[in-house]
Amino acid sequence: KRDFTGTLSFDWPQDARAPMIDPLFKVGHGLSYAKPAKVGPVNEDPRVDIGTALSETTYIRAGRVLEPWRLGLDSVVTTRTVDVSAQEDGRQFTWDGKGAFALDGPPIDVQRQMGGGYVLRLDLRLDARGNGPVSASFGGVALDISTLLPAAGATGMVRIPLTCFATHGAQMAAIGQPLRLGADKGMVMSIRNAVIEGVGEAIPCPPLSK
């Protein structure tokens, strides 16, 4: 019978902590009939607070605002759950005047996401365009995303490099407001997800909001 020949091309972690200091299996590890071995009980504890780690990079998921973030609405903005790709997987915002909604919470440190091509990604459906420009803020820095939005009635994805916000003064070590979205009367937008993700490609910065 044919023997196993595969080996690990990288260190295999024993938990979710980063950076990895003590791997469970080191690069080159592999078993075969010629060199059998027994693997004893392995650690099942991620040794990180998964909820905290998730909340630092995921703010809205399937239309739901995640803890510890709090949703705040200006008086001219209303919201409700809607179907986008699945049942009630989106949160729809309707503007009856110039205003915004925002997510606020305890300050988070996203400095480590500054060096790997990370973006603020919004998955959305533009239900109605409305009047005036549309802005997205991260850490108090507002950028004009009007030209990044899909056509009315279409779904799309908006990606804004975190470096764009940092360049204009966002304090990446203490972000207490990871999203504020401003628009004017007539705008109707349904958001599925608002997350930070690595993209590994160069994306141009939108202009500062006026």
Which residues 6+ apart lie within 8 Å of 12 measured at CB? 23, 24, 25, 26, 29
Which residues contact residue 105 at a Cβ distance below 8 angstroms, ignoring those fewer than 6 apart?
Answer: 55, 68, 69, 70, 176, 178
CA dist., res. 99 & res. 103, Å (int): 14
- Give the per-residue pLDDT at 14: 77
Q: pTM for the complete prediction?
A: 0.75
The ranges assigned to domains in the chain are 1-48, 50-198
167 contacts 182 by C-beta, under 8 angstroms? no
CB atoms within 10 A of CB 181: 25
**Largest distance between two CA atoms of the chain:** 73
Q: Which residue has the tokens 């075969």?
A: 32
User: How many whole angstroms separate alpha carbon 94 and alpha carbon 103?
Assistant: 16
Strands 135-138 and 179-183: antiparallel
Amino acid at 15: D
pLDDT of residue 159: 98
Asked whether 97 and 104 are in contact (CB, 8 A), the reply is: no
Mean pLDDT of each 10-residue bin along the chain, 210 residues long: 77 67 80 79 66 75 94 98 96 98 94 87 97 96 98 97 97 96 98 94 94
As its CATH architecture, domain 50-198 has Sandwich (2.60)
**8 Å CB contact between 63 and 88:** yes
141: Cα within 13 Å, side-chain hemisphere: 21
DSSP symbols for 102-153: EEE-S-B--GGGGTTTEEEEEEEEEEE--SS--EEEETTEEEE-GGGSPPTT
> For position 186, what pLDDT does the model report?
98
Amino acid at 77: V
The two structure tokens encoding residue 169: 């003064």
The candidate with the shortest Cα–Cα distance to 77, out of 185, 174, 165, 153, is 185
